[in-house]
Amino acid sequence: MDAGLAALLGAAVGSLATLGAALVNGRAQARSQHDQWRRQHRRDAYAAYLSALHDRDIAMDAVLDALRPDVPELPDVDEKIRRFITLAREVHRAVEVVVLEGPAPVVEVAERVTRASGDLSLVVRRMAENARAGDDGRRAEDAGLAAERERALYQAVKDFRLAARTALGNTD
């Protein structure tokens, strides 16, 4: 084989190797960018959900505070309940995005948060109904149950944060 043909074959093999490496690197870069894009969307969904939970929990605390006096101011209680309901709707909207973005372990913990929140809301609803009826027979029991369910909700939210951090690759 003469030197010119060997050089031409060498150049062709080198070009094919360079093209193959560029193709592999391009795919790896596209995959990396897609993973970063997905992580960012998940991070945004998780942050919006946690923010909505925070606002709703502050509203729940306001309802509980309004129910604490021996004779609660019912218009004040009703106003605070309306605010809570509005914010609870925001939480429901935010959790739908979390469900869409996933992954499954994060969705499972978000569902636990939803159940814990519902459990607390049932007690608070009963407390408000009893206050409207002037019935304070279960007042101490319900206050204790509300505190217990608040702790369960707080733990579920902590678990959600951990699951979200893990899904985003923040394990430090």
Which residue has tokens 């084989």? 1
Which of the four pLDDT bands, split at 50, 70 and 90, describes residue 24?
A: low
How far is residue 67 from each of residues 12, 38, 73, measured CA to CA in Å? Answer: 82, 43, 8
The tens digit of pLDDT for each residue in 88-106 reads 999 999 999 999 998 999 9
What count of other Cβ atoms lies within 10 Å of the Cβ of residue 108? 12
pTM of the model: 0.80
Across the range 130-152, mean pLDDT stands at 93
Higher pLDDT among residues 28 and 160, named by residue: 160
Q: What pLDDT is stored for residue 88 in this prediction?
A: 95
Full set of structural domains in the chain with CATH = 45-168 (1.20.120)
